[in-house]
Amino acid sequence: MKYVLEAFQTNWIAPLGPNVDAFEKEIASYVGVNDAVAVISGTAAIHLALSLLGVGKGDTVFCSTLTFIASANPILYQGAEPVFIDSEPDTWNMSPEALQNALIDALIQGKLPKAVIVVNLYGQSAKMDEILELCNHYGVPIIEDAAESLGSFYKGKPSGTFGEFGIFSFNGNKIITTSSGGMLVSNDTNKTKEARFLATQARDQAVHYQHSRMGYNYRLSNILAGIGRGQLEVLEERVESRRATFELYYDELAQLPGVHFMPELENTRSNRWLTALTINEEEAGVTVQELLSHLADNNIEARPVWKPLHLQPLFQSAAYYPHSNGESISDLLFNNGICLPSGSNLTIEEQYRIINIIKESMKAVVEKLA
């Protein structure tokens, strides 16, 4: 409220202003990059990144398949074609094996992708060492979609800082929020300068309104940036809260038959934005749909994991590379995965109510084991 009130008192209501400048500097400092550009959404940040990399009609862009559609829609904005890459079981993120197969095929076809969009699902970093090695070998830039993973670390380095560009989202459901907003981060200050230009309708330096390039109305408002500044001050508290929520779910449910939680890769810290698990129906004695329905009957909202993009009607003609021959990890996760309530304001009492209803759903198999 302090930062928002300051915006009103100083009449900085429209996009841009002191809060925007400060929010950019504070995010850049937190993740350890040279610059950050505040925009209206994570989707806008991905779109700008693709524009800055010169992605256009006839190009291909490789993208994680197990993600929200916002990761891939900007590929279509640019007239390019997405190629979807499967997950692997250790992180649920982009499979280096599938990526390697896709890059080899692209090299043979003489059409390497203009970019690879790597998504850090539910706060967990992908296997960035392996992915970086592959992309560097083939000379393909990485856009790291860290929309869900602000506050996460991979081998001591902040999520979102491994590619040529990183993006964060501050949508209302993220670990910190500006209600609507995003951030593009990079160490290339020439590119971030160009991003600001494009995001501000590509207005040329002139007294009159002059435009030589197509631009976008993508800059974040000073008021929303003020909300972000206040939120950023409590980011570490939010991460600890989400991780504590995960730990309680894990302690109470991990020993149940057929329950397997989303892993945390060694030498990483996931912000545990959402607690996600899979259910082996034969071992658990309950189907995913039955469990979701039982929770819904008790006024508890849980959801399946993201439907893979290669299964979406919009992308039915897109190429897809599975983790291995005959094994699509993302399909398995979608069919068996559940995201549990994980909000920062979730109380211990509410969480135990969720846990007890899950146990009740599996009562028959638990009693049998006892």
CB neighbours of 325 closer than 8 A, spacing ≥ 6? Answer: none
Whether 367 shows a pLDDT value over 70: the answer reads no
Whether 128 shows a pLDDT value over 80: the answer reads yes
Residues 43 and 177 in one domain: yes
The pLDDT, as a whole number, for residue 205 is 85
Residues 23 and 137 in one domain: yes
Whether 365 shows a pLDDT value over 90: the answer reads no
**CATH number (domain holding residue 342):** 3.90.1150.10
Distance between CA atoms of residues 200 and 38, nearest Å: 11
The pLDDT, as a whole number, for residue 13 is 87
Give the model's confidence band at 212: pLDDT under 50 very low, under 70 low, under 90 confident, else very high: confident
The pLDDT, as a whole number, for residue 290 is 93
Structural domain total, the chain: 2
Residues 166 and 78 in one domain: yes
The pLDDT, as a whole number, for residue 234 is 97
Lookup result for tokens 């590619």 = 163
pTM, full prediction: 0.95
Whether 369 shows a pLDDT value over 70: the answer reads no
Residues 131 and 66 in one domain: yes
The pLDDT, as a whole number, for residue 353 is 97
Give the model's confidence band at 326: pLDDT under 50 very low, under 70 low, under 90 confident, else very high: confident
84 or 366: which leads in pLDDT: 84
Give the model's confidence band at 286: pLDDT under 50 very low, under 70 low, under 90 confident, else very high: very high
The pLDDT, as a whole number, for residue 233 is 97
Q: Residues 334-362: what's their mean pLDDT?
A: 95
pLDDT in tens, 230-240: 999 999 999 99
Residues 69 and 165 in one domain: yes
Q: Residues 252-273: what's their mean pLDDT?
A: 96
pLDDT in tens, 8-30: 999 998 788 999 999 999 999 99
Residues 249 and 220 in one domain: no
Question: Where does a domain end: 169, 201, 232?
Answer: 232
Question: Where does a domain end: 184, 211, 232?
Answer: 232
pLDDT in tens, 46-89: 999 999 999 999 999 999 999 999 999 999 999 999 999 999 99
Residues 215 and 80 in one domain: yes
Q: Which domain holds residue 156?
A: 2-232
The pLDDT, as a whole number, for residue 210 is 85
Out of 58-62, 112-116, 264-268, 360-364, pick the least confident. 360-364
Question: Where does a domain end: 202, 232, 262?
Answer: 232
Residues 329 and 224 in one domain: no
Distance between CA atoms of residues 288 and 286, nearest Å: 7
Residues 69 and 90 in one domain: yes
Residues 203 and 240 in one domain: no
Whether 368 shows a pLDDT value over 60: the answer reads no
Residues 223 and 241 in one domain: no
pLDDT in tens, 141-178: 999 999 999 999 999 999 999 999 999 999 999 999 99
Give the model's confidence band at 364: pLDDT under 50 very low, under 70 low, under 90 confident, else very high: low
pLDDT in tens, 293-318: 999 999 999 999 999 999 999 999 99
pLDDT over 70 percentage in the chain: 98
Give the model's confidence band at 264: pLDDT under 50 very low, under 70 low, under 90 confident, else very high: very high
**CATH number (domain holding residue 101):** 3.40.640.10
Residues 73 and 221 in one domain: yes
Q: Residues 112-135: what's their mean pLDDT?
A: 98
